[in-house]
Amino acid sequence: MPLVHTPHPDLPPPITNVGVIGWLRQNLFSSWINTFWTLLASYLIYLTIPPLINWAIIDANWIGDSRASCDANQSGACWVFIAARFDQFMYGFYPESEYWRVNLAAILLLAMMTPLFLERFHYKAWLAAAILFVYPVVAYTLFAGDVFGLMDVETSRWGGLMLTLVLSGVGIVASLPIGIVLALGRRSNMPIVKSLSIVFIELWRGVPLITVLFMASVMLPLFLPEGTHLDKLLRAMIGIVLFQSAYMAEVVRGGLQAIPRGQYEAAQALGLSYWKSMGLIILPQALKLVIPGIVNTFIALFKDTTLVLIIGLFDLLAMIQAGFVDAKWLGFAIEGYVVAALIYWIFCFSMSRYSQSLEKKLNTGHAR
């Protein structure tokens, strides 16, 4: 007897698999072990979160202008300290009357970067070039002054979040291209280029950043000819850039190695020169592959800028520390560190999210 197939109608899933109850069952109470961890985690959350909220928000001291307003109530955080010192956390020792210059530079940067995120903006390449080459000049002019009637502000007075952003911004923008060149150099067929790249990379990767910064600030001036003055901030910047570009080179090299030989050959067979095949075929794919690694290095760089403290530059963390060792505000270290952590986290997390969205956008569905 022939078997006749009758199609089954679509049935709704059992009620225990959908909705809130279904979600809870699947994710929190699917087994005894899972139930145990759910209960343990709930208990830990109960132990930590309410006191934290009490300390940070409910019992906290929000209003006032000196520590007197905090001393009365010691069970909560003293955000008065943060408010009173906030300008210094942002601008360091930058003269108060000139804060507008820093603000203007920040607004200008945000305004220039916004169109880059718009889908339908067609001059992205030109704008990006302007941000990379024109903006730094404008920003430096604004920050340093001494031209167009702007007051001269020495780099030693730059500080706080502004300095952190200047250092990491320059570090990020400069280390990527240098890293790419070093990575290409390391994979080059030319023996001299290759060995120079290897020596450079291994040298900088082999020493701690603290050592690099010390060398830049203490030893380098000894070797420079008498009378040459190289700004301390500039020296730190160069140190950071060279150090990070060595790391970047290795990240990029990882990407280059993942590109199949066939891609190089197809580019060659079409008559593309070395630089064109690198720029148009290999690097776009290689860099896309290593976005997580590149952003990882950027994030590490952003946080490593805190090390400039040891050579006497006052970045965000250093300004916050300077704040709570001040006799007027002694004893508010926790508040200071919490704020520092929060600000660093916001920047690093934004970079991480942006890299994820970039990866998604650049995915062309090619499974390799």
Task: Report the interface residues with another protein, using CB under 8 A.
Answer: 260, 262-263, 265-272, 276, 280-281, 284-285, 288, 362, 364-368
Amino acid code (one letter) for 295:
V
Least spacing, CB of residue 365 vs another protein, in Å: 4
Tokens representing 123 are: 């001059």
Would you say 51 or 284 has its CB closer to another protein? 284
In our burial notation (b when 16+ CB lie closer than 10 A, e otherwise), range 62-79 reads eebeebeebeeeeebbbb
CB 264 to another protein: min, Å: 9
On whether the CB atoms of residues 145 and 153 are closer than 8 A, the answer is yes
CB of 286 to another protein, least distance (A): 10
Nearer of residues 281 and 301 to another protein, judged by Cβ? 281
- The minimum distance between CB 366 and another protein, in angstroms, equals 3
Asked if residues 117 and 131 have their Cβ atoms less than 8 Å apart, the reply is no
Residues 226, 227, 233, 239, CA torsion sign: negative
Instruction: Choose between 229 and 366: whose C-beta lies nearer to another protein.
Output: 366
Of the pair 360, 368, the CB lying nearest another protein is at 368
> Residue 220 CA to chain centroid, in angstroms?
28
Q: Nearest to residue 278, comparing CAs of 188, 159, 170, 175?
A: 188
Q: Of 52, 100, 62, 102, which Cα lies nearest the Cα of 84?
A: 62
Amino acid identity of 307? L
Minimum gap (Å) between residue 368 Cβ and another protein? 7
Nearer Cβ to another protein, position 93 or 274?
274
158 phi, psi to nearest 5 deg: -70, 145
Q: How many other C-beta atoms are found inside a 10 Å radius of the C-beta of residue 55?
A: 16
At position 1, the amino acid (one-letter code) is: M
For another protein, which is the closer residue by CB, 272 or 351?
Answer: 272
* Cβ at position 355, least distance to another protein in Å: 17
